[in-house]
Amino acid sequence: MSTRKWLLVAGLATALMVSGCASTASHTTSSQQAGAAGGTKVAIMVGGLNKQIYLPFMLAQRLGFYAEQGLDITLSDEPAGVDATTNMLAGKVDGVGGFYDHTIDLQGLGQAAESVVSMLTTPGEVELCRNDLKDQIKSPADWKGRNLGITDLGSSTDFLTQYLAQKNGVDPTTVHRVGVQSGATLIGAMTHNNIDCAMTTEPTVSQLLANKQAYILLDMRTAAGTAQALGGEYPATSLYMSSKYVADNPQTVQKLVNAYVKTLKWIQTHTAAEITDQMPADYYAGAGKDAYIKALDSEKGIYNPTGIMPPNGPPTDLKVLSAFNKDVQGKTIDLAKTYTDQFVNAVPAS
């Protein structure tokens, strides 16, 4: 059994045995607060609620779009997408706000899950390295033997880090991937020189740059930067659910997708400042509101304006995973079963 598969199985077993293992962090919240009491209950775990790449999940609640659909949504915060996936497989939550590539990885492990709405057309990830290493690390080709920060083993940042190493001639097994989550824990790891580089998102990126602790090695907040790093479109944030849940609850899934498509359209027609005003203040407390707005303004292009899966995206995700991921290599992956556009296509015109 591969290490990744062992971790997933072990994590699933733990999730099944431990009561209440779903995160109850301070950002766990319910749309009952927005007047949806008595609505259809749905639990969604997000791989970092305060990250800008996952902004649509909380924004939909703050705008009242869940309640509008008659949904009682509980959002819980889990720093690593792989742990959120484990909770979904254990039946602790109904869906995950995470990167689409997990559905491909899961199929390689014999699990059926699918993205029902695509929220990001690029990863929105940035590879940062410590400022004191600027003369030593100029590309991933210089990563051999280095300590590289990721959210956690088996996360999408882990996937992308391993791919970038291999693409640049560095055997992924020769780098040390260290789970540092994001935000304060990642910043602390870099401050204490526990990691040399790290893959992270806004607002952590702006905070490290403002503190002059790090420099940008690779930037996947734009389509051009993503294509240069990964070779094409790389759809990232999505709502994914087990295929069984989708088949058993089509009306609920449709309501969810209605809310998210409306949120994505709202993002397109409002400024970064207007969007930020809707978010909880603690989401931008570290970087500061002005820095949060500036970062959001510069990367608004990452959000999918329609919710439709970019047609050229899934093959890129599969190519990336196939380069190093033992769970996918040698497997026949049916990409058509890893996502569906049927619910987005059925969203009522507004």
Kindly state the percentage of the chain with pLDDT values over 70. Answer: 88
pLDDT band at 238 (very low <50, low <70, confident <90, very high): very high
Structure tokens at 291: 């820095």
Give me the amino acid identity at 216: I
Whether the predicted pLDDT of 187 surpasses 70:
yes
- What number is the average pLDDT over the span 166-175? 97
The reported pTM is: 0.88
Phi-psi region of 118 (alpha: psi -120 to 50; beta: other; left: phi over 0): beta
- Does residue 30 surpass a pLDDT of 70? no
230 C-beta neighbours (distance < 10 Å), count: 22
- Burial label for 66, CB within 10 Å (0-12, 13-18, 19+), is buried
Q: Which 3 state secondary structure label does DSSP give 105?
A: helix
Higher-pLDDT residue of 350 and 141 is 141
| pLDDT tens by residue, 117-163 | 999 999 999 999 999 999 999 999 999 999 999 999 989 999 999 99
**pLDDT(99) > 90:** yes
* Domain 3-122+234-345 identical in fold to domain 125-220: yes
Domain 125-220 falls in which CATH fold? D-Maltodextrin-Binding Protein; domain 2 (3.40.190)
CATH code, 3-122+234-345? 3.40.190.10
Give, for 92, the enclosing helix (H) or strand (E): none
The β-bridge relationship of strands 40-46 and 95-99 is parallel
Domain ranges of the chain: 3-122+234-345, 125-220
